[in-house]
Structure 1
């Protein structure tokens, strides 16, 4: 929300007086918004602006909500796009382009379908080799000031996912070569506690991270995306190098490549690939929904139904046999 407001609402409407936000201003805002962001973002940004204007009415800075008065200006519609999954050769090529210590991150994205924040905070004890499961208990996040902390996975619930035997072998080999690293961070909120209750809620948690940097630190997602993930995408031919940027560090000048932006090819595509493999194999949507940590199977179907090429044909064959009898 912070990013959408400061990157899009403020630049486009920040110099406009509240009383001047009429139908023309809203149409201009909508047109500019659609020209600079894509997919579902315009709809969410429009909702954020509507919430801000609602607050202005409640605080009596405006008499009426501009969006409700000027109903001819409709909210931007979400552009529905099918979730993208990678083929096995693409996954293997991107994995090969990463440093060896980071390759298991790809395995954990495709194997149990972990999100990036869950991947970077996995404890070696979360891998239950005996039972053959992975316990997803936390994620690594940063607040608006760049301070890291641990919290529950998205949706506020933990989950247990099956551990493929070959993934277990890869994890064992990874731990043999790159032992787990201890990391202690606040829980839920990095702000210093002000009460005893907050002190209990934010009590630091120590995790033995399965994934860490070569310096033995936790992974910072922005650095990892720019210095490891995008170069791996480029080496696999998924994105192109479109330029170069120069950065000065003291008296040293470093040049870094600028890569083509492709949001659909970021780490989350591994989770979609996991879902596609499960559904194409005929796995239950209910089971997959639990493994992905979705609130309901309906969400899983909404995002991944197109990965079910046999959906309908099996039931058609069953009914056809029944009618033949």
Structure 2
């Protein structure tokens, strides 16, 4: 698997935010249980990168599909993790630093800057696939929420809900503080909204069944 492909696999297959993908360590991958432990993210502020807790200030455990586990195992064989040291909790120079072996790094062994990844890899890949127009020489990529890296997380959520997984479970995997937040964002992806309830009552109120009960 290509080095940059792991970013997409983790975001699409496990619903991680981009900063969480960039902060993932091999020690967070539990192949035996089939889960990922999301414990940190890499953020960028004022041109400086730093480690911090996932959004909401809480670590979480996310289900890892077999396809993702297989891709990661292949990736680990080709690209060993690299230890990276960054400030913890903010970009200020006086912050304490922490070291983590990161799954995804640059070819120079540094943490990946999300903004550079998006401009140099993500957007050109979308353009090459015909998803967005190729930018003119010297121009900037057009900013759009519809084709940002975060769309992979939305795709993950839609697939999970369409497969019939519960909102409460998805909320836990996404790291939402409440299932209500998940519903606000993704309720329209739930299959047969209202249909299951109608079918249940149709079964109870089936004329044949009522006749037999009488």
**Given the two structures, how large is their TM-score scaled by the length of structure 1?**
0.61
Q: Report deviation, 1:119.
A: 0.4
- Candidates 41, 47, 53, aligned match of 1:139: 41
**Larger gyration radius, structure 1 or structure 2:** 1
Partner of 1:172: 73
Moved segments of 4+, more than 4 Å: none
- Candidates 203, 215, 222, aligned match of 2:96: 203
Once residues 192 and 267 of structure 1 are traced to their aligned partners in structure 2, the CA distance between those partners, rounded to angstroms, is: 29
Once residues 217 and 204 of structure 1 are traced to their aligned partners in structure 2, the CA distance between those partners, rounded to angstroms, is: 15
What's the CA shift string for 1:251-285, capped at 9, x where partnerless?
A: xxxxxx64343321111000001100100001000
Give the alignment's Cα RMSD to 1 decimal. 1.5
- Candidates 86, 96, 105, aligned match of 2:7: 105
Partner of 1:126: 28
What's the CA shift string for 1:50-69, capped at 9, x where partnerless?
A: xxxxxxxxxxxxxxxxxxxx
Once residues 110 and 72 of structure 2 are traced to their aligned partners in structure 1, the CA distance between those partners, rounded to angstroms, is: 19
- Candidates 1, 7, 17, aligned match of 1:115: 17
- Candidates 212, 221, 241, aligned match of 2:114: 221
SS of the equivalent of 1:301 reads helix
What's the CA shift string for 1:230-263, capped at 9, x where partnerless?
A: 0001011111024111xxxxxxxxxxx6434332
Q: Does 1:323 align with 2:193?
A: no
SS of the equivalent of 1:259 reads coil
SS of the equivalent of 1:140 reads strand
Q: Report deviation, 1:137.
A: 0.4
Contact 1:104 1:171 in 2 (8 A): yes
Contact 2:12 2:156 in 1 (8 A): yes
Q: Does 1:190 align with 2:91?
A: yes
Contact 2:28 2:37 in 1 (8 A): yes
Once residues 101 and 30 of structure 2 are traced to their aligned partners in structure 1, the CA distance between those partners, rounded to angstroms, is: 14
Contact 1:120 1:209 in 2 (8 A): yes
SS of the equivalent of 1:167 reads helix
Contact 2:87 2:93 in 1 (8 A): no
Q: Does 1:264 align with 2:146?
A: yes
Q: Does 1:154 align with 2:58?
A: no
SS of the equivalent of 1:244 reads coil
The count of corresponding residues between Structure 1 and Structure 2 is 207
Q: Report deviation, 1:304.
A: 0.4
SS of the equivalent of 1:309 reads coil
- Candidates 276, 287, 305, aligned match of 2:187: 305
Match runs of 1:22-101 below 5 Å: 100-101=2-3
What's the CA shift string for 1:153-210, capped at 9, x where partnerless?
A: 01111110111111101001111111111101121123244xxxxxxxx432211111
Which segments of 5 or more consecutive residues in structure 2 lack a partner in the other structure?
210-214
Higher relative contact order (Cα pairs below 8 Å, separated by 6+ residues): 2
Contact 1:240 1:260 in 2 (8 A): no
